[in-house]
């Protein structure tokens, strides 16, 4: 007789756990998308910020912070309105890295009409998932240049760069820039051949031609038009394709805060240069006149601000050394009689050091104005020349204080005394000692000084000066 096997029943707790798990799976399958892990930027705002002027430490800090803020707000899109003549290579690469690593789609828009994305701006445009331009704008001229070379006026293309620089260092810079820009072009599926021309030949393009040559993705009149044209567009971000849903998305415009504005002011090479000189001259005045307080306080603040700015800027330390040497020589001229040799040498070292101070590669718009250098060199020469004249005249003046000033002076006895007593001289009362008797009101001549006691000789009444 076969054995009857009773059906096994799972414990109640096990049944409840399985039922709850099944219900949870069904619930999560039909939950609204907002409670499920959604695509980054699917429900956030559109974040916009502007970069105007040279790409420097302030622009880098502002762009990096804004991109991080957009990521934190789960933005649907970041729009960078760009108008720049170029800038520092290090600042540009930091912005490019942040754009490439951003999970939020970035659209770089060269606008308004008349704007440009030259030099470093071209790299930022190529690195963005979406590259757009307004009518009447241009991009290109991405050849690395040295500080101090004249940049093109707004709206005009810079002069063509030589196709094959003879300087090996320049050739190395150009090859590196070509590889970098071609890599960005291939990453975004844009015209890599023209990217190479932009570096080797300093080629530039207006907006319409850039669209025809597939250097950019679209042309728009303004930011609202750009957002309208990007609705439903598919872009690749961090290796995955996203469809932009911008309908009804609010546009949040980010503005630089006080820190960014202060950084933009002090990292202007001309401002940093002036702050450096004010700081040095303030400390010189404080050390030469201890206790003045104001020159030392102002000088220390300006010097620290200048050093912070030059830490962020590409500084040639040989130029900084020559500048400091020039100031030291001009100061020495005021104390060491060299018939102007130290002063002239100091002005020459000061001017040469100032010209070399920011002589680095790849940063148009970050050179110190030669006119400012000439003016400050002339002012420094006049300042130390006048100071030297005052010092020479002061040395030639007779001594009016101390032992030398009292020797030979005439005073009046305030009392009768035979050894020691008191006299009035130069409006002051002194203890006096005399080898001969002195009567009250008699004039005495000071012969020497023993501590705080004057050694005097009475003047006979017949010889007293009138």
Percent of the chain with pLDDT over 70: 77
Cis amide linkage into residue 238, ω under 30° from 0? no
pLDDT of residue 14: 54
Which of 25-34, 300-309, 315-324 shows the highest mean pLDDT?
Answer: 300-309
pLDDT of residue 441: 86
Say whether pLDDT at 230 is over 90: yes
The DSSP line for 281-328 is HHHHHHHHSTT--HHHHHHHHHHHHHHHHHHHS---HHHHHHHHHHHH
Work out the burial of residue 282: count CB atoms within 10 Å of its CB; fewer than 13 is exposed, 13-18 middle, 19 or more buried.
buried
Q: Rounded to whole angstroms, how far apart are CA atoms 270 and 366?
A: 9
The confidence band for 162, taking pLDDT boundaries of 50, 70 and 90, is very low
The DSSP line for 105-131 is -EEEEE-STT-EEETHHHHHHHHSSEE
Lowest mean pLDDT of 170-179, 339-348, 441-450, name the range: 339-348
Q: Is the dihedral of CA 302, 304, 305, 306 positive or negative?
A: positive
Hey, how many other C-beta atoms are within 10 angstroms of the C-beta on 63? 25
Lowest mean pLDDT of 204-213, 300-309, 332-341, name the range: 332-341
pLDDT of residue 10: 45
Find the helix or strand (DSSP H, E) in which 165 lies.
none
The DSSP line for 414-463 is SS-BSSEEEEEETTEEEEEEESS-B-TT-EEEEEEEETTEEEEEEPPGGG
Say whether pLDDT at 339 is over 90: no
pLDDT of residue 411: 86
pLDDT of residue 47: 95
Hey, how many other C-beta atoms are within 10 angstroms of the C-beta on 139? 28
Say whether pLDDT at 34 is over 90: no
pLDDT of residue 417: 87
Closest by Cα among 111, 125, 118 to 139: 118
The confidence band for 407, taking pLDDT boundaries of 50, 70 and 90, is confident
pLDDT of residue 232: 92
Region 9-29 average pLDDT? 49
Percent of the chain with pLDDT over 90: 33
Lowest mean pLDDT of 287-296, 422-431, 444-453, name the range: 287-296
**170-183, pLDDT tens digit by residue?**
788 889 999 999 99
Say whether pLDDT at 240 is over 80: yes
Region 228-232 average pLDDT? 94
Q: Which fold has domain 40-148+160-256?
A: 2-enoyl-CoA Hydratase; Chain A, domain 1 (3.90.226)
Lowest mean pLDDT of 17-26, 188-197, 353-362, name the range: 17-26
Q: Give the Å distances, CA to CA, from 97 to 64, 67, 70, 200.
A: 9, 11, 15, 23
Q: Rounded to whole angstroms, how far apart are CA atoms 91 and 80?
A: 16
**58-76, pLDDT tens digit by residue?**
999 999 999 999 999 999 9
Q: Rounded to whole angstroms, how far apart are CA atoms 455 and 432?
A: 6
What positions carry a catalytic annotation? Answer: 119, 172
Angle made by CA atoms 166, 196, 211, in degrees to the nearest 5: 145
Say whether pLDDT at 364 is over 70: no
| CATH H-level, domain 403-463: superfamily | Nucleic acid-binding proteins (2.40.50.140)
**298-315, pLDDT tens digit by residue?**
988 998 998 888 877 777
**117-150, pLDDT tens digit by residue?**
998 999 999 999 999 999 999 999 888 765 334 3
Coil, strand, or helix at residue 224?
Answer: helix
Angle made by CA atoms 124, 126, 131, in degrees to the nearest 5: 95
pLDDT of residue 250: 93
Residues sharing a CB contact under 8 Å with residue 177, sequence separation 6 or more, in sequence order: 142, 143, 144, 199
Say whether pLDDT at 234 is over 60: yes
Lowest mean pLDDT of 109-113, 154-158, 381-385, 398-402, name the range: 154-158
Convert 15-77 into a string of H (helix), E (strand) and C (coil): HHHHHHHHHHHHHHHCCCHHHCCCCCCCCCCEEEEEEECCECHHHHHHHHHHHHHHHHCCCCE
Say whether pLDDT at 9 is over 80: no
pLDDT of residue 183: 94
């Amino acid at each position: 007789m076969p054995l009857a096997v009773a059906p096994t029943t799972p414990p109640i707790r096990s049944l409840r756990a399985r039922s709850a798990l099944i219900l949870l799976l069904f619930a999560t399958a039909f939950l609204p998308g907002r409670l499920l892990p959604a695509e980054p930027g699917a429900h956030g705002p559109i974040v916009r910020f502007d970069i105007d002027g040279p790409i420097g430490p302030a622009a880098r800090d502002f762009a990096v912070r804004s991109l991080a803020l957009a990521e934190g707000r789960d933005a649907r899109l970041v729009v960078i309105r760009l108008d720049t003549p170029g800038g520092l290579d290090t600042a540009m690469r930091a912005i490019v890295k942040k754009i490439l690593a951003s999970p939020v789609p970035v659209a770089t828009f060269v606008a308004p009409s008349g704007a440009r994305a030259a030099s470093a701006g071209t790299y930022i445009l190529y690195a963005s998932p979406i590259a757009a331009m307004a009518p009447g704008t241009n991009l290109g001229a991405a050849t690395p240049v040295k500080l101090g070379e004249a940049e093109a006026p707004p709206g005009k293309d810079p002069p063509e760069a030589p196709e094959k620089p003879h300087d090996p260092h320049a050739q190395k810079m150009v090859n590196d820039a070509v590889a970098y820009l071609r890599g960005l072009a291939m990453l975004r599926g844009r015209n890599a051949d023209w990217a190479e021309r932009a570096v080797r030949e300093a080629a530039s393009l207006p907006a319409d031609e850039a669209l025809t040559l597939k250097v950019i993705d679209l042309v728009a009149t303004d930011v609202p038009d750009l957002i309208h044209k990007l609705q439903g567009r598919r872009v690749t971000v961090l290796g995955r394709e996203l469809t932009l849903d911008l309908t009804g998305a609010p546009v949040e415009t980010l503005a630089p805060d006080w820190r960014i504005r202060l950084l933009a002011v002090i990292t202007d090479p001309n401002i940093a240069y002036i702050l450096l000189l004010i700081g040095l001259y303030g400390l010189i005045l404080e050390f030469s006149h201890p206790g003045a307080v104001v020159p030392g306080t102002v000088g220390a603040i300006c010097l620290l601000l200048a050093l912070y700015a030059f830490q962020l800027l590409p500084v040639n330390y040989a130029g900084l050394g020559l500048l400091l040497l020039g100031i030291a020589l001009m100061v020495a001229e005021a104390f060491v009689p060299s018939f102007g040799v130290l002063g002239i040498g100091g002005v020459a070292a000061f001017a040469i050091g100032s010209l070399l101070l920011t002589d680095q590669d790849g940063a148009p718009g970050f050179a110190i104005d030669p006119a400012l250098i000439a003016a400050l060199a002339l002012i420094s020469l006049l300042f130390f020349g006048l100071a030297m004249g005052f010092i020479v005249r002061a040395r030639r003046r007779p001594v009016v204080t101390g032992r030398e000033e009292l020797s030979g002076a005439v005073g009046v006895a305030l009392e009768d005394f035979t050894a020691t007593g008191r006299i009035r001289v130069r409006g002051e009362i002194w203890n006096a000692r005399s080898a001969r008797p002195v009567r009250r009101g008699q004039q005495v001549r000071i012969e020497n000084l023993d501590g705080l006691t004057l050694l005097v000789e009475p003047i006979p009444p017949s010889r007293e000066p009138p």
